[in-house]
Amino acid sequence: MSQTITQKILAKHAGKKSVEPGELIECKVDLVLGNDITTPPAIKQFEKIGVAKVFDKKKIYLVPDHFTPAKDIKSAEQVKMMREFAKKYGIVNFFEIGCMGIEHVLLPEMGAIKPGELIIGADSHTCTYGALGAFSTGVGSTDMAAAMATGRVWFKVPEQLKFNFRGKLPKWVEAKDLILYTIGQIGVDGARYMSMEFTGPVINKLSIEGRLTMANMAIEAGGKNGIFAPDEKTAKYFKSRISNFEYLISSPNSQYKATYDWDISKIEPQVAFPHLPSNTKPVSKCGSVKINQSVIGSCTNGRIEDMRIAAKVLKGKKVHKDLRCIILPGTQAISIQMIKEGLTETFIKAGAVVSTPTCGPCLGGHMGILAEGERSIATTNRNFVGRMGHPKSEVYLSNVAVAAASAIAGRIVSPKAL
């Protein structure tokens, strides 16, 4: 029976030969992830279960990244609970500041993810790891607790959607634009509880960093998961990280609920206006939107490739005098690489601030909160009401080059306008 890559991974972890959309299955998990917001509630539920140990000390990853370094007493207590839980149960993979990073940048970088694995995380953007050929999805804290105890979780097998991208990426158009364009076309519920499989000549040429960006935002279309078939680029990415992973790809006659086929040769950088990721416009149609802040980073666009693009735009320029530009590298390793390549110096000379790795401003936590009436352009993944601060503030989503160019101009512009 023909199966998609998502169906093959789910079937394997359920101990079945095949699975069908709508089927309820119980699966073994390869990795369970939690952060400083979602892990404390999971810990409380885990203690209620009454088990003496976790299912596997090496397969649980706890990454405090949302409010770290701790912004207040409550956030410090959250991380303290995680730290003590990790010690109590011998959990190996607990990442404190200094060795931490934004969870969805850190885990791929350190080789914690393998193609063909089944990964759950108590964070909606856990779907990021589908870029590496894994089935990866967000769950609630209660499911995280049960998985830490049993190593198992149940799923309803999702329906399958296929997105084929062809043509050639125009200059300054990035992977972020492909996913924003996709969400703009199908809406924030266009893939609700469905698997989003990304294919085509453009995807084949896309870097792993670009694929991570696209998979990260599958949830913004309602997707259960986003996924890319592993290929030679995947193998090269993992060469210094892991070995002996399984190549699973969709069978030729696999069934999809719908297939989308787009020639992206003429699309422009996309900007998602408030207050939905689907409210997208080409940058040339944005008018004159004055901004107060530009945020470059996050689990969507905080990798070294992103930092290089931002530095290319900002080099020799100055951030607008009425604007704050915040650079958020995804991990400590990326921070070091930025220093080695001179990117950090470029950012600081331009008038930007370079932060330690944190989710901070993306969720309105800290390190870049918006006041009433302020507007921010950001390379993050959500622009809901009050997402970065005051309910009467606004967030505009874009790719890295547009966010950097807009930081210079003080309004939303394409790099071509500089």
Q: Is the dihedral of CA 393, 396, 400, 404 positive or negative?
A: negative
Provide the pLDDT for residue 49: 92
Residue 376, classed as helix, strand or coil, is strand
Provide the pLDDT for residue 293: 97
Provide the pLDDT for residue 258: 96
Q: Is 325 annotated as a binding residue?
A: no
Give the C-alpha separation, 306 to 310, whole Å: 6
Provide the pLDDT for residue 247: 81
Q: Which residue has the higher pLDDT, 226 or 243?
A: 226
The CA–CA distances, whole Å, from 235 to 143, 242, 394 equal 31, 9, 40
pLDDT band at 100 (very low <50, low <70, confident <90, very high): confident
Q: Does residue 245 register a pLDDT over 80? A: no
Q: Is 127 annotated as a binding residue?
A: no
Give the C-alpha separation, 66 to 357, whole Å: 9
pLDDT band at 97 (very low <50, low <70, confident <90, very high): confident
- Report the chain's terminal Cα–Cα distance, integer Å: 54
Provide the pLDDT for residue 400: 98
> Which residue, 183, 311, 204, is CA-closest to 249?
204
The string of pLDDT tens digits covering residues 148-167 is: 999 999 999 999 999 999 99
Report yes or no: 387 and 363 within 8 Å, Cβ to Cβ: yes
The string of pLDDT tens digits covering residues 307-344 is: 999 999 999 999 999 999 999 999 999 999 999 999 99
Strands of the sheet containing 375-378, edge to edge, are 280-282, 270-272, 394-397, 375-378, 293-297, 324-328, 353-354
Helices (H), 90-163: 103-109, 141-150
What does the angle CA 228 – CA 163 – CA 152 come to, to the nearest 5 degrees? Answer: 45
Q: Does residue 242 register a pLDDT over 80? A: no
Domains contained in the chain, CATH given: 5-243+257-262 (3.30.499.10), 274-417 (3.30.499.10)
User: How large is the average pLDDT for residues 11-21?
Assistant: 96
Provide the pLDDT for residue 359: 86
Half-sphere exposure of 131 (CA within 13 A, CB side): 29
Report yes or no: 393 and 171 within 8 Å, Cβ to Cβ: no
Q: Does residue 68 register a pLDDT over 90? A: no
With 0-12 / 13-18 / 19 or more C-beta atoms within 10 angstroms meaning exposed / middle / buried, residue 344 is buried
Residue 94 pairs in a beta bridge with: 62
